[in-house]
Amino acid sequence: MLKFIKSHMSTIGGIEIYPLISFIIFFVFFLIVAILVFKESKENISIMSNLPLEDETEHSSNI
């Protein structure tokens, strides 16, 4: 099965660029998420971390 895939992949011209493009997309997305997480306020993170522990009535009254 792997030989079948390798033989077909080797016939496609310019296929070497796709892993690089995938890595760049992943890395840019990772950087954006990391920047957003580090810029988030401590208060908002505390509120979000306690959301699963709150009752629905408490959550709806805070909105």
What is the predicted pLDDT for the residue at 54? 79
Largest distance between two CA atoms of the chain: 62
Return d(Cα 63, Cα 58) in angstroms, integer: 9
CA triplet 16, 20, 25: central angle to 5 degrees? 145
What is the predicted pLDDT for the residue at 43? 93
Return d(Cα 56, Cα 62) in angstroms, integer: 10
pLDDT tens digits, one per residue of 4-62: 888 888 888 888 899 999 999 999 999 999 999 999 999 998 898 888 887 766 555 55
The answer to whether the pTM exceeds 0.85 is: no
Return d(Cα 21, Cα 53) in angstroms, integer: 41
What lies within 8 Å, CB to CB, of 9 at 6+ separation is: 15
